[in-house]
Amino acid sequence: VAVLLRTGVLDVPGVDAVSVFAVPGEPLRIDGADALSGQLGSDLTGLAERQEHKGDAGAVLELPMSSGPLRRLVIVGTGDGGTVAWRKAGSALARRTKSDPVVALPLDAVPTDEALAALVEGLVLASYRFRAEGAEPKGSTTERYELVGTEPQLRQAVLDAALHRARATLRARDLTNTPSLVKTPSWLAARALDGAESAGLTARVRDERELAAEGFGGVVAVGMGSTRPPRLIELSYAPAGATRHVVLVGKGITFDSGGLSLKPNEGMVSMKTDMGGGAAVIATMAALRDLGVTVKVTGLVPAAENLPSGTAQRPSDVIRHYGGRTTEVLNTDAEGRLVLADALAYAVERLAPDVIVDVATLTGAAPFALGRRHAALYASTDDLAVELAAAAAEAGERVWRMPLVEDYRAAIDSRVADLANTGSNLAVSGGSITAALFLREFTGGLPWAHLDIAGPARSDSDEDEVTKGATGYGVRLLLRWLEGMR
Ligand code: BES
Ligand code: MN
Ligand code: ZN
């Protein structure tokens, strides 16, 4: 779907539907309708009020047009006028107008840059549809939204930034929705390399031999049950004059069967999305230059397929991570932390970052605690937690900070290795917390945050800007955070 700016009034020729905005109040206000140059001639406010339209965010009233080229007029509520409400309005509009090829909206009736960005994100994100490779496209969707106003050039930069963030999110959705039959670790690496150069990135992909030779024992162990070998994807963005260096790490499990600690089928069907964190990192990296990010960023995605076989790792194996620390693998289904540990240790030892953020569909315990729409946020410093929560709020991606409970650390002690990958001797439960504590062991005391996105990385239904399947969660949060960094 394209979104573009145009000068003029909401001219009806060439447009299939027009949308105006309803702002709650006594009386209800309709914004943008004056730009219809009197072509409607009806009292829209009265009409909307008779239909009990209150202007609630995303509430839609559709008026079929009987004469003239315009097929419909849509009145969408903008609620309290905040970004959440405008994003909802954009999403509702996208769903309601998908059979109209060209839809026009009154740009001057969008009051702020934040509102415009949110509206555009809603339009683009809710229009998304995934079809597996080779499948026929289904149904029609809007070709383009035209935002029509008096001085559209003044808002071009805001529109462009919103489109970059939204398209990056769609890229993450595409990667995550791709079935694992296609999506091997090397496929994921190839997709990360597509367009990396034109996005101003340098890239390096380590194959299974290099991983073994350099001591990435976690990635190797998780990947060794599959005939499709693991990879470590490293993307770097180094703008001139950068003073700070951020490392992003994304879990890239291209399918998580659980390994020999096999999942039941109900838990396994959605596990093609277990690289959602890695997809968020790949998509974020590719959008940095377009969004004018000024800090240095390295993206690391350890990618492996977790399968049971005669060559798979066994519960009770002891593996050796990058840098030499050892883990007793008590449950092969706690594989995410094994590959992330290698990547974190590598970042600390070789990349000298100022801050590390990892994003991972790490534990079923996270959505169990917070529901499916919030990510669990862990941070080693309050400042970092505050910064990320602010970026999340701007992006409309919800996080909730969780505690790194020191007492629970003993749950991942091992008698035979430096750490165990699941709780054994201390039954504290709190699976998302103990997983975060495991990761913390590999962060070298640097400022570090962890987003457990097992809940919000995918959705079982279309809702607001989220579409069923992969959501691309994390991309807009990370981009907002990095855009704000100096
Ligand atoms: N990928 C899963 C976590 C997950 C669960 C993501 C549900 C999305 C939805 C992860 O690798 C996993 O299996 N975690 C285990 C850890 C346990 C064995 C300690 C879990 O959460 O059950
Ligand atoms: Mn698992
Ligand atoms: Zn997993």
Express each pLDDT in 296-331 by its tens digit.
999 999 999 999 999 999 999 999 999 999 999 999
Neighbours of 49 (CB within 10 A): 15
| Predicted local confidence at residue 226, as pLDDT | 99
Residue 20, phi then psi, degrees to nearest 5 = -120, 170
> For residue 273, which atom of ligand 1 is closest to its CA?
8
Residues designated as active site: 263, 337
Q: What is the pLDDT of residue 396?
A: 98
- List residues near ligand 1 (CB under 6 A): 256, 274, 331, 333-336, 361-365, 422, 431, 454
Q: Which of 404, 461, 396 is nearest to 433 (CA)?
A: 404
Query: Region 226-241: what's the mean pLDDT?
Result: 98
Task: Say whether 450 sits in a helix, a strand or coil.
Answer: strand
Contacts of 50 (CB under 8 A, 6+ apart): none
Helix ranges (DSSP H) in 178-206 = 185-193
Cα→Cα distances 48→29, 45, 73, 128, 150, Å = 9, 5, 12, 29, 26
More confident residue, 113 or 136: 113
Mutational test site, ligand 1, from 363, 374, 471, max ligand atoms within 8 Å of CB: 363
Residue 59 CB partners (closer than 8 Å, separation 6+): 22, 53, 76, 77, 92
Nearest protein Cα to ligand 1, atom 8:
454
| Torsion sign across C-alpha atoms 134, 140, 141, 145 | positive
pTM for the predicted model, two decimal places: 0.97
**How far is 187 from 189, CA to CA, in rounded Å?**
5
- The CA radius of gyration of the chain, in Å to the nearest whole number, is 24
Structure tokens at 82: 């905040």
Q: In angstroms, rounded to a whole number, what is the distance separating the alpha carbons of residues 280 and 297?
A: 14
Q: What phi, psi does 465 have (nearest 5°)?
A: -75, -10
Q: Which candidate, 166, 148, 151, 57, places its Cα nearest to that of 105?
A: 148
Which DSSP helix (H) or strand (E) runs through 120? helix 113-126
Neighbour count for residue 399 (Cβ, 10 Å): 26
H or E segment at 76? Answer: strand 72-77
Average pLDDT over residues 39-50: 80
Mean pLDDT of the chain: 95
User: How many residues are given for the chain?
Assistant: 486
Can you read off the two tokens belonging to residue 270?
A: 């959605």
Instruction: Identify the nearest ligand to the CA of 365 by its number.
Output: 1
Buried b / exposed e across 401-432, counting CB within 10 Å, b at 16+?
ebebeeebbebbebeebbbbbbbeeeeeebbb
**Of all residues in the chain, what percent carry a pLDDT higher than 90?**
89
DSSP at 208: H
Query: Ligand 1, closest atom to CA 431?
Result: 19
